[in-house]
Structure 1
Amino acid sequence: MVSNTVTRAIISTAACETTGLAKGDVAAISQRMFELIGDALKAGDTVKLTGFGTLQVRSRAERIGRNPRTGTQHKITSRQTVIFTPSAKLREALDNLTGR
């Protein structure tokens, strides 16, 4: 299976074609939307995008990692990470694609 990457530019072009808005307007709206999502996540808030999914900041504990090539162990420090949980609607649509 060949994997395709959908970029912000591809999404913006599709939004322009669908809405009839100018490319600059769509770019400004999407840029601001990503800034607002980033700001909310930095503040520790959960971002719910109805029909798509939820973005949430979670803490990862410190742990021991292993270099797969050499087998040497090293400490991985604790950190914050963003977790995406797809909505039931998106999960169902994905399951239908794979024939589950």
Structure 2
Amino acid sequence: MRRAVIAALAATVLGSIAMQADAGETGLHEVIGVEDDDMLKMRAGPGTGYKILLGLPNGTVVRLHSCDQTGSTRWCKVSLKQSRGVKGYVSWAYLQKI
């Protein structure tokens, strides 16, 4: 019984920490790691099967709203810092918090 209570408390604490980490991801991020002759594709939805809306070169600043895991890729809903009405999804792997 005591182990069950301790396990439940540990799960609650770890879940709380994970939720705080996810909440801390929002805000401004910069596109990084894209090849010089390529761009990060901003898509209409969270996956490669969605329409490409724009290409974002390294250094583009976006506002991250939320992220979701789709298959093996973490997709984030973003909007352009300079044009907040332009929204779409990009791979988390190419974003760095600024």
* TM, length-normalised to structure 1: 0.29
The structure carrying a bigger strand percent of its residues is 2
Larger radius of gyration, structure 1 or 2?
1
* TM, length-normalised to structure 2: 0.30
> Which of structures 1 and 2 has the larger relative contact order (alpha carbons within 8 angstroms, sep 6+)?
2
